[in-house]
Amino acid sequence: MVNKKIYLDNACTTAVKPDNVKKVIREYLEDGITNINRSSYKKSNEIEEKIYETRERINKFFNGETEKNVIFTKNITESLNVVIKGFLKEGDHVIVSGVEHNAVMRPLESLKSKNISYDIVKCDKYGQVEISDLKNKIKNNTKMIIMTVASNVNGTIIDIEKVGEVAKEKNLFFVVDTAQAAGIINIDMKKFNISCVTFTGHKSLYGPQGIGGFVINSDMESKMSPLIYGGTGSISDKLVMPNFLPDKYEAGTLNLIGILGLNEGIKFIEANGIENIYNHEMEITKIFIDGILNIDSKYKCSLIGKENINGRVGVVSICSEIIDNGEFAYLLDEEYGIMVRAGLHCAPIAHKTFGTYDKGTVRFSFSFNTKEEEVKYAISGIEKILKIKL
């Protein structure tokens, strides 16, 4: 057991939040909690203005259509469920990539009983979508393409601009999962022909856990129904949900603390510059990849995915034939204080694409807070564990 703690599990959640995020949450709690949309006193109105400011910031961040089309949920999984189940109808067909997370796959699988089907597009060994196969998978009843922007297993960035071009050409709605990409690379709804961006706050947007959402264009939204019904503070004399945004999809009390924290998280990204954040993560990722590639071949340590920093985010998976991945991650934590994640990462079809389905991988994921010395220390720990196991 060591006292040193190195957190390299940022693809799961970003552990270190910016000071301004912590400050706004602390001030809100200390000043006394209030609600919005249901009260007319000054304090409630002040918080409501902050929530509106956050919608404006998010809409600008993704270059969306209008701030009223920014909908808050508790996480990206809920966002994807709201969008998928609110949009798809009996007989519809969907196309996904071969590296999707279960936040996409499980909602789709649950709809098979309603005669809603999906096809998985082929990806190369790195996880890049084969555009020719995407086009071949389109059917007369295809309504939607859903794809992650970056794999949560090996960090490969899907060329969503090309996918968006196909969606536009074939008149299909295009939904993206930005869990591993928002806050690291620019995601422009208009430029990439994206109909709906789903996001989560607690990863590379530097907000707290329990807040997420989606930004949707009006064309797609007009064809959707709410998933959750309840009070909104608007048209309370009616027993039906409001048909205007954002109320249509925001039944019940919102996570106001989470929204305020998310607002500050995006401010942090704006202040530091998304390109600077990306460049730092790539510098760190290159050090890690080069270190893994330099480990003696006798340790049979493999890098899963690209062996360079082109077209990727700071998520890197490895595995070795001489040690079980679960034990590998345990020893990294127990002996060296290095916190990583082992297993299938809630993305079994991605592991089938990469040929790692049986064992999974050990995943290292970096952030703007990750330091060079931490990465070098991790490489040293990996090598020492493999040396002992050999």
Last residue of one domain, picked from the residues 217, 237, 272? 272
The domain that holds 71 is classified in CATH as 3.40.640.10
Q: Residues 265, 338: one domain?
A: no
Kindly report the pTM of this predicted structure: 0.96
Digit-coded pLDDT (tens) for 227-236 = 999 999 999 9
Last residue of a domain, one of 272, 292, 311: 272
Lowest mean pLDDT among 5-14, 41-50, 149-158: 41-50
- 145 or 44: whose pLDDT is higher? 145
Residues 170, 293 within the same domain: no
Both 239 and 104 in one domain: the answer is: yes
User: Same structural domain for residues 266 and 277?
Assistant: no
CA distance 214 to 198: 4
State residue 291's pLDDT score. Answer: 98
Question: Is residue 46 located within the same domain as residue 99?
Answer: yes
The pLDDT tens digits for 31-70 are 877 777 766 777 777 888 999 999 999 999 999 999 999 9
Same domain, yes or no: 356 and 262: no
Q: Kindly report, residue by residue over 113-140, the tens digit of the pLDDT.
A: 999 999 999 999 999 999 999 999 999 9
**pLDDT on residue 39:** 65
First to last CA, the chain: 22
Phi-psi region of 139 (alpha: psi -120 to 50; beta: other; left: phi over 0): beta
Decide which of 272, 304, 333 is a domain's last residue.
272
301/209 same-domain check: no
Residue 1 lies in a domain: no
- What is the residue range of 351's domain? 6-16+273-389
